[in-house]
Amino acid sequence: MTTETTTTNSAAPTTATARIPAPATPYQEDIARYWNDEARPVNLRLGDVDGLYHHHYGIGAVDHAALGDPAHSEYEKKLITELHRLESAQAEFLLDHLGPVGPGDTLVDAGCGRGGSMIMAHQRFGSKVEGVTLSASQADFGNRRARELRVEDHVRSRVCNMLDTPFDKGGIAASWNNESTMYVDLHDLFAEHSRFLKVGGRYVTITGCWNPRYGQPSKWVSQINAHFECNIHSRREYLRAMADNRLVPHAVVDLTPQTLPYWELRATSSLVTGIEEAFIESYRDGSFQYVLIAADRV
Ligand SMILES: C[S@@+](CC[C@H](N)C(=O)[O-])C[C@H]1O[C@@H](n2cnc3c(N)ncnc32)[C@H](O)[C@@H]1O
Ligand SMILES: CC(C)=CCC/C(C)=C/COP(=O)(O)OP(=O)(O)O
Ligand SMILES: [Mg+2]
């Protein structure tokens, strides 16, 4: 069902030599195409700062002293470095919640993107990290970075549907979704994590969800869905689907106040993509929330 993609030193995907599993649905085909074609400077130029390429957003206070004078010729470069620092801080915060994992463990990054979080997890824990993405370009990119860092024996990306993975039942110590749950049905997703996680293992997600207290998805949430071709779930759906799949919340953290500074800073940069207003307005009007949920597999 799943196959590791063959990688080369070229930036182009090497799908000709790889046996890529067929997407399970036409929707997944759309999403694979979307991420295969993605090359936004807001992601690549941030990743170029230190070689960790993320497709998630940032948390934490902006370091205005590090940014310095906006009129300075180096300001834009410093701004990019600062946005990247906040995105890496987000991944560190997710890893903080994985529990006591170590070098003998295998971790799963479901919807791994270009693999930045996987590298960070291996560097922190010494663990083996298995990533799945629908995109062959992303898997190639992640595997190339792992080879360049000489961690390819421990960090591996493959093209695979996160709802149907090859991981053995109960063989995984901890797993996560970093901004990738909005592409799948949550019941199907948590059933799969629950299957491959060992009892006592930890699952963590950082995600954007619509707030049931607001009523229904706001126009801003609908705009984010249209922009990314995704389907943002409500906070209630997360907790219900986890409860139905032996995932019991250990921590629920509302990161909305911590992510707003990232968005406000990003909105002033030359790398804006046009989606900044929807995130800022929906976080401000309370219709959308940025949350971490860590759960024990019981
Ligand atoms: C916004 S990116 C997040 C990437 C990564 N987690 C990060 O933090 O940099 C969403 C990712 O989810 C993946 N994805 C979406 N649906 C998927 C599915 N059904 N199976 C595997 N990956 C999926 C995409 O291929 C993409 O890599
Ligand atoms: C929180 C929510 C709703 C996220 C939707 C999923 C998504 C596309 C995340 C960021 O990816 P990216 O880093 O490629 O996006 P951008 O190009 O905007 O930085
Ligand atoms: Mg980004």
d(CA 216, CA 285): 13
Atom of ligand 2 nearest to the CA of 40: 17
Centre of ligand 2 from the C-alpha of residue 23, in Å: 21
Cα(51)–Cα(150) distance, integer angstroms: 13
Q: What is the 3-state secondary structure (H, E, C) of 150-213?
A: CCCCCEEEEECCCCCCCCCCCCEEEEEEECCHHHCCHHHHHHHHHHHEEEEEEEEEEEEEECCC
Helix (H) or strand (E) holding 256: helix 256-266
- Ligand 2 contact, 284 CB (< 6 A): no
Q: What is the ipTM, given to two decimal places? A: 0.99
Q: Which atom of ligand 2 is nearest to the CA of 87?
A: 13
Ligand minimally distant from the alpha carbon of residue 38: 2
16 pLDDT band, cuts 50/70/90, is: very low
Residues of the chain with pLDDT > 90, as a percent, come to 92
Q: In this structure, which residue's CA is closest to atom 4 in ligand 2? A: 179
| The ligand 2 atom nearest the CA atom of 227 | 8
Atom 13 (ligand 2) nearest CA: 55
Whole-number pLDDT of residue 20: 82
Residues 6+ apart with CB under 8 A from 188: 163
The amino acid at residue 193 is H
Query: 94 CB less than 6 Å from ligand 1?
Result: no
Which atom number of ligand 2 is nearest to the Cα of residue 224?
3
**Top-confidence residue, 127 or 17:** 127
Q: How far apart are CA 40 and CA 34, in angstroms?
A: 12
Please name each of the domains of the chain with its CATH number: 26-297 (3.40.50.150)
Q: What is the pLDDT of residues 210-259, one digit of tens each?
A: 999 999 999 999 999 999 999 999 999 999 999 999 999 999 999 999 99
- Ligand 3 centre from 200 Cα, in Å? 32
For residues 19 and 4, the answer to whether their CB atoms sit within 8 Å is no
| Ligand 2 in reach of 42 Cβ (< 6 A) | yes
Contact between 19 and 1 (Cβ < 8 Å): no
Q: Would you say the CB of residue 184 lies under 6 angstroms from ligand 1?
A: yes
Give the Cα separation of 137 and 15 in Å (integer).
8
Binding site membership of 94 for ligand 2 (Cβ less than 6 Å): no
pTM above 0.90, yes or no: yes
Q: Which two tokens stand for residue 112?
A: 């791994």
Nearest to 209 by CA among 269, 288, 125: 288
The encoded tokens of residue 224 equal: 């984010």
Query: Do residues 298 and 199 make contact, with C-beta atoms less than 8 angstroms apart?
Result: yes
- Identity of the amino acid at 215: G
Place of tokens 């009892």: 199
CA of 246 to the centre of ligand 3 (A): 32
d(CA 99, CA 203): 9
User: Could you count the other beta carbons within 10 Å of the beta carbon of residue 91?
Assistant: 24
Distance CA 111, CA 135 (A): 9
Query: Ligand 2 pocket test: which of 56, 210, 230 has the largest number of ligand atoms within 8 Å of its C-beta?
Result: 56
Render pLDDT for 273-291 as a digit per residue (tens, 0 to 9).
Answer: 999 999 999 999 999 999 9
Ligand 1 close to Cβ of residue 55 (< 6 A): yes
Pocket probe mutation, ligand 1, options 180, 196, 229, max atoms within 8 Å of Cβ: 180
Q: Which residue has its alpha carbon closest to ligand 2 atom 5? A: 179
